[in-house]
Structure 1
Amino acid sequence: MVTQQDLPVQILMLDDGLEPPAYATDGDAGADLRTAVDVVLEPGARALVPTGVALALPRGYAGLVHPRSGLAARHGLTIVNAPGTIDAGYRGEIKVCLLNTDRTEAVRLTRGDRIAQLVIQRVEHAVFAVVDELPDSVRGTGGFGSTGGFGALDATPADLRSAAGG
């Protein structure tokens, strides 16, 4: 039964031997995506991994592909462009660009393993207006740690050497 919170999304299984994307538990934000192939990612290596799934998202929605927290915590496996973005007009196979951040251990994935989470999210389509200046804000132009007290992020390498006595 479709409820007010459910969004019908058409999927095409390009590999009948795989399970379609599914939510592990009721209320989960992300549906699990699985690898269509066996993969070995050596330390520091990355691979573009097929999922055997294509979909048709309604206009005004995007699919965001996020890392699985357990794989990240236990094996250092992440997604290079996290989150990966699937536009509503894309109809090709979803592929996930995985990266093994572990410095010593390879990550072995077997066909059918859950490798990422797909979050379907409503997105706004902006109308950009070029202006001569932007309105003031409390934050202003501060970025990259400016609100968290990480002044070293704004320092140059020479500033850091000087502060260290070098």
Structure 2
Amino acid sequence: MLNIKIINHSTHLLPAYETEHAAGMDLRAFLNEAITIKPLQRILIPTGLHIELPVGYEAQIRPRSGLAFKHGIGIVNSPGTIDADYRGEIKVLLVNLSDTDFVVNDGERIAQMVVAKHETVNWQPATELGDTQRGAGGYGHTGK
């Protein structure tokens, strides 16, 4: 279990796993009043949360599948990344990909957050790379 410092300026409970084996914790909107997202509109939704991630970790902000399926609501920069050195409020950049208005209410679950370990890369300049069966084959190269 990883301990992470969190400041909660919202009136909502801390993010939590909804099921025993869930990877993501739901984030809730922290709003003074409901916000309407028009079709194809993008809006930055505050959560009231600030976190202090350990070095070597990131928090990924991902869409909620139910909002995407039922209402066409997604996240523009999905997954969004919160770096270990960021201390500002977590905000979620929602987009309405449907043809109808969508109303976001205070306390509504708007995204999920996954905390993950990552590596720091040290590039090693080279003149050739090891060979593989795939090689340089790119998008759709297998014909499947």
TM-score, normalised to structure 1, is 0.81
Residue deviations 1:117-156 (CA, integer Å, cap 9, x gap):
0001111111111212222222222222323x26xxxxxx
> Could you tell me which residue of structure 2 aligns to residue 31 of structure 1?
25
> Could you tell me which residue of structure 2 aligns to residue 85 of structure 1?
81
Gaps of 5+ in 1: 1-5, 151-166
Secondary structure of the 2:45 match is strand
Larger gyration radius, structure 1 or structure 2: 1
Equivalent in 119, 126, 141 of residue 136 of structure 2: 141
RMSD value, Cα: 1.3
> Could you tell me which residue of structure 2 aligns to residue 121 of structure 1?
116
User: 2:138, 2:50 → 1: CA distance?
Assistant: 37
Number of aligned residue pairs: give it: 142
User: 1:45, 1:124 → 2: CA distance?
Assistant: 35
> Could you tell me which residue of structure 1 aligns to residue 36 of structure 2?
40
Query: 1:63, 1:86 within 8 Å by CA — same for their partners in 2?
Result: yes
Identity of aligned residues (%): 45
Q: Which has the higher contact order (CA 8 A, sep 6+)?
A: 2
User: 1:40, 1:105 → 2: CA distance?
Assistant: 10
Structure richer in helix, relative to its length: 1
Residue 8 of structure 1, CA deviation: 0.7
Query: 1:19, 1:112 within 8 Å by CA — same for their partners in 2?
Result: no
> Could you tell me which residue of structure 2 aligns to residue 61 of structure 1?
57
Gaps of 5+ in 2: none
**2:16 is aligned with what amino acid?**
A
Residue 89 of structure 1, CA deviation: 1.1
User: 1:60, 1:110 → 2: CA distance?
Assistant: 34
**2:104 is aligned with what amino acid?**
L
User: 2:40, 2:79 → 1: CA distance?
Assistant: 19
TM-score, normalised to structure 2, is 0.92
